[in-house]
Structure 1
Amino acid sequence: MPDLLIELFSEEIPARMQTRAGEDLKKRITDGLVEAGLTYAGAAALTTPRRLTLAIEGLLAESPTIREERKGPKVGAPDKAIEGFLRGAGLTRDQLEERDTPKGAVYFATIEKAGRPAAEIVAEVLEATIRNFPWPKSMRWGSGPLRWVRPLHSILCILTDEAGAQVVPLEVDGITSGDTTAGHRFMAPNRFSVTSFDDYAAKLKRAFVVLNPTDRAEHIWNDAQNMAFAAGLEVVEDKGLLAEVAGLVEWPVVLMGQIDDEFLDLPPEVLQTSMKEHQKFFSVRNPKTGRIERFITVANRETADNGASILAGNQKVLSARLADAKFFWENDLRVVKEHGFEPWVDRLNNVTFHAKLGSQGERVIRIGHLAGELAAATGADKTLATLAGQGCKADLCSEMVYEFPELQGLMGRYYAAAAELPEEIGQACEEHYSPLGPSDDVPTAPVSVAVALADKLDTLTGFWAIDEKPTGSKDPFALRRAALGVIRLVLTNELSMPLLSTFTMQVSDSSEFEEKSADLLSFFHDRLKVFLRDEGIRHDIIDACIAMEGNDDLNLLVKRARALNAVIATEDGENLVQGFKRANNILTQAEEKDGVEYSYGADVKFAETDNEKALFAALDGAQGEINTALKSEDFPSAMSAMAALRGPVDAFFEDVQVNTDNDILRRNRLNLLSQIRKVCSSVADLSKIEG
């Protein structure tokens, strides 16, 4: 079984596209080979800035011969029908076989498709892959129609077995396949031939190319850590930047440079952001002070001066960048020290939030008002919450955030401290955007929680009011993320906060918004189902709790759902649900048939058996326990009391015929079933439980 090696060698591929391109190359080639009948033992894709490489082991030498049997027309059918069948099968009449079937004699054809050599199939699949490769962006060059992310220079494609290596012949827009590649652009640009993947990887390393992106990333990180440690410093971890830098170099050379003293007092986040976004530098901080004092850069080549000239050039460019950042920082500090947030808050009136929802200035007034109203629920000081809400977006008008939008919120904390505002306001400025995603931390400081909730709820009610809701996969205003943020804030901080009344705080006409409020609450319930699915709580269990009163209190709703989920997982809980459904079905059918509602209370004096009497007692006891537990929001105890009814309910159905001929007994027992439904339904709507 031969091994296949493919390399597509080009100008530099953007780092962000390399991983996906490697995956696409692997999938398209292997899918095409398997579809053509060539199976394989294993495949791996590797990428560098200049090459996409695919190595496939244990490929079949040729596709298997396939025999297919086709049933044709009946013997004696019109000639045209038989001729059409022969054309489709590619056979002559003398190659047909007559067979007797229950419907008479019928022609059968046996079609044999001979296997093809692997090289022939590989050539077809690779050419189709190159011509139809799914680059996010591609370009044409020269006079040919071929499109590639950057100009494609060469195609290496060889099959290797015990006899040696064989070039798979193909040609794509004048680029002919071969068995050669080139090394590092500057350090070893000459081309060389290879005979196998191992030979290819070894020769590339000698030609200053590290083929595996994981190896490049590990080399960069290890060298960076060692350099920082030797200087008594530490590298700020950034996995995204590490992956990107590993995609920018074929031969990583790690260098550590100095940051000029005049910039060391800038906030560390400013230094880190500026160096990462503009220069792709890693930040190196002093663990004792938290200051960013040096940077790590990764060159793509070794130099005679051991990188001194590269560092000098990088430091010169970095100083220019940081001079701008220092200018913005000092200007912003001057504003807030003299005037506080007021000038920036005023300028928010000139920043449009949405054409139908007004400016950011109008919005922060709404956020401040709602944050003040929510202060009681979060345990915050109302005045502080209101002021924090009104100032939470002020830093959007700072020069620093205008240059680095990703620092919004964080700079608000620095500027609030400079303006000598209460610490809670600065903390809320930084934290009110959170949580942004499922792994983001959730604020717990009372003022921050109030402002974070107000920010997200104002967004949601505003867009619902103007009928701008998510549709399908489209959610341009990130409303699903906002709703999930509210859910996590409420649950993490165990807030008692009915949503329906909160919605109406943000609209001028609450009566007009009533229907939309119900729809927005339903949206929250849908997001909650997605959130709780990760806990293993089924949607029907949540539906059983949503059907209960107070379903706009998310904290109570989730407590109820978690307790119900736990009790349903027990044998008693599962069997009680079945008993409840049986009781509910019998009762519903009887009420429909009789045209009356059996809810007037059963009388124990009509009970005939001990099990029937025991159910009366069990229901009375359970109702008292459940009511007590629900008042204290002790849902586990309420669910346990409900589950304890399993035995008496089962014994009742085994012992008693509900629809007896005695009308008095029948009515009494139907009213008893109504009592079962009433007691269970005070905990959750078990009719929603599936299965």
Structure 2
Amino acid sequence: MSAKDFLFELGTEELPPKALKSLSAALESEVKAGLTELLGKESVAQSGFTSYAAPRRLALLVTDLQTEVPESRTKVQGPPVNIAYDDQGKPSKALEGFARKCGTTVDQLSEEGGKICFEQVNPASPVAPQLPAIITRALDKLPIPKRMRWGSSRTEFVRPVKWQVMLFGDEVVTCEILGHKSDRHTRGHRFHYNQPIELFSGREYASVLKEKGYVIADFEERKALIREQLLDEAKKVGGNVVISEDLLDEVTALNEWPVALTGRFEERFLEVPSQALISTMADNQKYFHLLDDDNNLMPYFITVSNIESKDPSQVIEGNEKVIRPRLSDAAFFFETDKNRTLASRTESLKSIVFQQQLGTVHDKTTRIAGLAGRIAEECGTDKAQAERAGQLCKADLVTEMVLEFPELQGLMGYHYALNDGEPEEVALAQNEHYMPRHHGDELPTTGTGIAVALADRIDTLVGLFGINQPPTGSKDPFALRRASLGVLRILIEKQLPLDLRTLLQAAADQYGALPAQESVVEQVLEFMLERFRAWYDERGIAVDNYLAVHALRPSRPLDFDQRVHAVAHFRTLPQAEALAAANKRVSNILNKQEGEIGNAVNQALLADDAEVQLAHKVAELDTSLAPLFAKGDYQPALEQLAQLQEPVDRFFDEVMVMADDPAVRANRLALLSQLRSLFLGVADISLLAG
């Protein structure tokens, strides 16, 4: 079957840079899905897909796309044979209606499996006329939160559309999409070659745009070029350019013909905290900063221009003029803020509402200070410093610098606390209490920072649950899921054996009168323990390992984690499957019993060798495992419990648990209860899948 290349390009005004990659990926995915529905998975697998994404265009090249939808046959089922004909053998109305529906006559129908059938032939059809519909559906499904209209048109897209190209082979596929008729003319660079460029095949698209139009259409090619240019520019001034992947993607999406240029700013600005300068350069100007070999900020920046200037010095000078007032503002804010201490600013927090029912930010810092002091005591760190850090931890929110650059909250608190003469740990905690800020972020390193970070998150969790405002579905305005994961990460990775239930109760006591005061601790505890499900799934640990531990509801996250890893190790042992099955059996037997089951075994009532052997082994392990359980050494405990496989299997093979004698039956149930209690010292392994 013959094949041709298919090219689609949508030309627009500058597309949102942060959305460009996702729009391009979605376009390819949706078009591929449409072609698969039309031609079948195997046929589409023979084609190649190449996406192009630049500031003013989204394009897709499909190579070797077959030109015809092949003939196919579809079997349509009709009425059952027993109602297809009347008593005289004439076609029933149901049969005649089915024939009309299929566009045929009764004599063309057949019988199969007790039903009337018709084999419908779908003739081969050309692909080209069906491509516009596939493209239109794909564009309609793009992830665009808010579409816009332009001019008098009612057409909607993420940005105004200027042209569209649709070629199948060397021919234009005639259609109209988003208010523009298809054509074979793309457009060059807005400044270097603002003219139509005629295309005669899809495969020449990228090369013609690059060679003639000053447009590098391939996103990854532009990205690699920019990275190379950044490194070359950094070498010229003896620096190391810091390349943030997010910023690199954004800059790539802003430029069709990227040219990296190095600018300079006055060294006096280096007296301002470097992160403030970096934020100004990266967030506002999309500049890359440079560090020296000692990781100190250098007075240089690299900008990526969308034009190859004949006089690049003018472009550099223009960027230097733009950045100077931004850095001057940062320097002014920094010097002005230092005239007041953080402590003097805490009073201003009384005018900022944290949450209407939970009070002001000042109220919150008071609670944070109290809880942080308690956590510090339990961790063996300085209580007074934790309380002081908690009182100050939100004060930088009312500084000029943070009001201008909100992303610097915490970091500026650190610098201002040092300026105020606060202890080093108190200063560090101003920044560290926000850690981890996002998935995979670093954790606080100081005891004071850890205490305030935990207190801040736990106070928020208890407060929001306490006023009956937990997260719902995808809505989590106070980021309670992230707060929970932050607490779990800190407690586990910092090896802190703190009890969550105790901390949650301490936080609830500080509120005193929440609407859900009686249930809030258990609600939040369950919510936080549920976060472990995704936590372990991400780490490749089977969900039933988590469920086996969760069934016991251990409230110390470090202990929870140790149990889960012990269970994961236990499952690698040859005895694990048999013991998990035996525990299920024991659990079922005990759960069916009415009344209380004793836990004391009467040795005199042990008659069979199998139950004597099991009772002896259980008693022996009960003694040897106690110190392991006390220390949280769950892995060696389960390794010892694996020794029970043979006596447990023999017990169930040879002993009738539900004996006729009530005393013997009760004694055997007590033995099984002891057996189960040993395993429950770690987890409910009856929940492990076979």
Q: What TM-score, normalized to structure 2?
A: 0.92
2:325 is equivalent to residue 323 of structure 1: no
Letter matched to residue 631 of structure 2: S
Task: Determine the C-alpha separation between the residues in 1 that align with 2:210 and 2:74.
Answer: 49
How much has 1:284 moved relative to structure 2? 1.8
2:57 is equivalent to residue 51 of structure 1: yes
Q: Is the 8 A contact 1:437 1:481 kept in 2?
A: yes
Q: How does 1:374-393 map to 2 (within 5 A)?
A: 374-393=375-394
Q: How does 1:108-127 map to 2 (within 5 A)?
A: 108-127=117-136
CA change 1:485–1:159 in 2 (3 A) is same
CA change 1:111–1:98 in 2 (3 A) is closer
Task: Determine the C-alpha separation between the residues in 2 that align with 1:450 and 1:63.
Answer: 66
Q: How does 1:462-541 map to 2 (within 5 A)?
A: 462-506=463-507, 507=509, 508-509=511-512, 513-541=517-545
Q: Is the 8 A contact 1:504 1:510 kept in 2?
A: no
Q: Is the 8 A contact 2:599 2:674 kept in 1?
A: no
SS in 1 for 2:120: strand
Q: 1:15 aligns with which of 11, 14, 17?
A: 17
What residue in structure 2 maps to residue 211 of structure 1? 217
Segment of structure 1 superposing worse, 472-481 or 37-46: 37-46
How much has 1:481 moved relative to structure 2? 0.7
Segment of structure 1 superposing worse, 65-74 or 539-548: 539-548
How much has 1:475 moved relative to structure 2? 0.9
Q: 1:158 aligns with which of 159, 162, 167?
A: 167
What residue in structure 2 maps to residue 599 of structure 1? 598
Task: Determine the C-alpha separation between the residues in 1 that align with 2:134 and 2:7.
Answer: 14
What residue in structure 2 maps to residue 196 of structure 1? 201
2:103 is equivalent to residue 90 of structure 1: yes
How much has 1:290 moved relative to structure 2? 0.2
2:668 is equivalent to residue 669 of structure 1: yes
CA change 1:130–1:641 in 2 (3 A) is closer
How much has 1:216 moved relative to structure 2? 1.0
Letter matched to residue 15 of structure 2: I
How much has 1:530 moved relative to structure 2? 2.1
How much has 1:421 moved relative to structure 2? 0.9
2:286 is equivalent to residue 284 of structure 1: no
How much has 1:135 moved relative to structure 2? 3.0
Letter matched to residue 577 of structure 2: E
CA change 1:616–1:68 in 2 (3 A) is closer
Q: Is the 8 A contact 1:274 1:322 kept in 2?
A: yes
Q: Is the 8 A contact 1:33 1:121 kept in 2?
A: no
Q: Is the 8 A contact 1:97 1:108 kept in 2?
A: no
What residue in structure 2 maps to residue 144 of structure 1? 153
For residues 363-386 of structure 1, give each alpha carbon's deviation from its aligned partner in whole angstroms, at most 9, with x where no partner exists. 111111111111122332011111
How much has 1:98 moved relative to structure 2? 4.8
Task: Determine the C-alpha separation between the residues in 2 that align with 1:662 and 1:90.
Answer: 78
Task: Determine the C-alpha separation between the residues in 1 that align with 2:418 and 2:361.
Answer: 22
SS in 2 for 1:264: helix
Q: Is the 8 A contact 1:268 1:292 kept in 2?
A: no
Task: Determine the C-alpha separation between the residues in 1 that align with 2:95 and 2:581.
Answer: 62
SS in 1 for 2:50: strand
SS in 1 for 2:357: coil
SS in 1 for 2:437: coil
For residues 569-605 of structure 1, give each alpha carbon's deviation from its aligned partner in whole angstroms, at most 9, with x where no partner exists. 322233222223323434444x34xxx5442633334
SS in 2 for 1:146: coil
CA RMSD of superposed structures (Å): 2.4
CA change 1:563–1:510 in 2 (3 A) is farther
Q: How does 1:625-644 map to 2 (within 5 A)?
A: 625-644=624-643
Letter matched to residue 670 of structure 1: L
What residue in structure 1 maps to residue 435 of structure 2? 434
Q: Is the 8 A contact 1:75 1:107 kept in 2?
A: no
What residue in structure 2 maps to residue 24 of structure 1? 26
CA change 1:133–1:535 in 2 (3 A) is closer
Task: Determine the C-alpha separation between the residues in 2 that align with 1:249 and 1:175.
Answer: 25
How much has 1:686 moved relative to structure 2? 3.7
Percent identity, please.
34
Segment of structure 1 superposing worse, 536-545 or 472-481: 536-545
Q: Is the 8 A contact 2:382 2:448 kept in 1?
A: yes
How much has 1:82 moved relative to structure 2? 4.7
How much has 1:328 moved relative to structure 2? 0.4
Task: Determine the C-alpha separation between the residues in 1 that align with 2:157 and 2:113.
Answer: 59
Task: Determine the C-alpha separation between the residues in 2 that align with 1:129 and 1:558.
Answer: 45
Task: Determine the C-alpha separation between the residues in 2 that align with 1:118 and 1:362.
Answer: 67
Q: Is the 8 A contact 2:156 2:178 kept in 1?
A: no
CA change 1:679–1:191 in 2 (3 A) is closer
CA change 1:149–1:588 in 2 (3 A) is closer
Q: How does 1:147-296 map to 2 (within 5 A)?
A: 147-160=156-169, 165-172=170-177, 175-206=180-211, 207-288=213-294, 290-296=296-302
Letter matched to residue 166 of structure 1: E
How much has 1:664 moved relative to structure 2? 5.5
What residue in structure 1 maps to residue 588 of structure 2? 585
SS in 2 for 1:223: helix
Task: Determine the C-alpha separation between the residues in 2 that align with 1:480 and 1:8.
Answer: 39
Task: Determine the C-alpha separation between the residues in 2 that align with 1:26 and 1:90.
Answer: 38
Task: Determine the C-alpha separation between the residues in 1 that align with 2:555 and 2:603.
Answer: 38
What residue in structure 1 maps to residue 349 of structure 2? 348
Q: Is the 8 A contact 2:265 2:300 kept in 1?
A: yes
Task: Determine the C-alpha separation between the residues in 2 that align with 1:357 and 1:662.
Answer: 62
What residue in structure 2 maps to residue 647 of structure 1? 646
CA change 1:117–1:556 in 2 (3 A) is same
Q: Which runs of 5+ in 2 are unaligned?
A: none
How much has 1:619 moved relative to structure 2? 1.1
For residues 318-339 of structure 1, give each alpha carbon's deviation from its aligned partner in whole angstroms, at most 9, with x where no partner exists. 111111111101101222xxxx
